[in-house]
Amino acid sequence: MSSPAMRVASAPVSFGVDEIMDDDAWVPAPDDMLDWMVDIGFEGTELGTPGFLGDAGQVHQRLSSRGLEFVGSFLPQHFSRAEKAEEDRAWLRDNLRLVREGSPAGSKPYAILSDQFDEPDRQAFSGRIQEHPETWLSPARFDTLIDNLHRAAELCRSEGLEPVLHPHAGTYVETADEIARVMDRIDPSIIGLCLDTGHFRFGGADPAQSVDDYHELIRHVHIKDCRTSVMDDVKREGKGLGEALRRGVFCPLGDGDAGIDAVIAALRAHDYTGWLVIEQDQSLGPSDTPESVVAVQRANREYLRRLGI
């Protein structure tokens, strides 16, 4: 069964360009990375780390010259920190303008909002948050998170961009319970959901079940696999998100436990017609080469082709 309505994009994080893991042995040049994406057969890309693809003019030229659509930009904010709201929104406003001005004709990139991942306790206990209630948000800070999320989403809309919330490991929207709590409070007329299958699995949610639960809110999808065996090892050793990432918790499609096939089946059942962005968060070590990185992403693209996408 083919699904022409679902289109497949990539993201710089799949090629080692990442905001969290910044100690790579090397990173590709922007133009090389984009050329690899085209050769593999991706139709679009997300922005990746701000600045990596250049300013708005460079982003526009680089993408339009290759026929790549601009799919979205990841925009973290300290939603539960009232004292950071003004600074965060100023940063958001600047980056939204870059996204808007850098978009090639025909592109409709999403503003992918996420809670920020720099809270030390959440990073330290990421993957085992349920066992550490001292890291949970108070009712007052949860209300602040919802309020700031809505205000950020309204700002995105004022700049002409559709906002979605991306639950993310190492943030205050990580676990299945935290995701459900936020989904119950968001205004769907203002903001939708970005389902990231790897981060949902990391936080203990069932990605395919989440499609059934939240299909009316899902407007954007990151296809990512997740090895729970890596999480188990990291938990047992009392380590956190950084170590899980370094050990490859997010792995090639089909090598993990996110249930990618079941997710695709669920998206089809609910007539999802948006982007599938293949993401494989990874840092590049000395043994990684351009050829090996491209081979893994080509295999990821082929995985979806075998599912008819």
pLDDT value of position 93? 97
Judge whether 213 lies within some domain.
yes
Whether residue 270 is contained in a domain is answered as yes
- The answer to whether residue 87 sits within a structural domain is yes
CA distance 180 to 176: 6
Is the residue at 123 inside a domain? yes
Average pLDDT over residues 157-174: 97
Average pLDDT (55-79) is 98
Q: Is the dihedral of CA 16, 277, 97, 113 positive or negative?
A: negative
Q: How many domains does the chain have?
A: 1
Q: What is the rounded average pLDDT of the residues 154-176?
A: 97
Tell me the whole-structure pTM to 2 decimals: 0.96
Q: Does residue 282 register a pLDDT over 90?
A: no
pLDDT of residue 19: 67
In a domain, 2, yes or no: no
- Chain segment 171-185, per-residue pLDDT in tens: 999 999 999 999 999
Q: What is the CATH number of the domain that holds 219?
A: 3.20.20.150
Residue 19 lies in a domain: yes
Angle at 194 between CA 191 and CA 196, to 5 degrees: 160
Range of the domain at 170: 7-306
- Name, in order, each residue with C-beta under 8 angstroms of 57's C-beta and a sequence gap of 6 or more: 101, 102
> Does some domain include residue 1?
no
pLDDT of residue 306 exceeding 80, the answer is yes
Q: Is the pLDDT of residue 21 over 80?
A: no
Map residue 20 onto helix, strand or coil.
coil
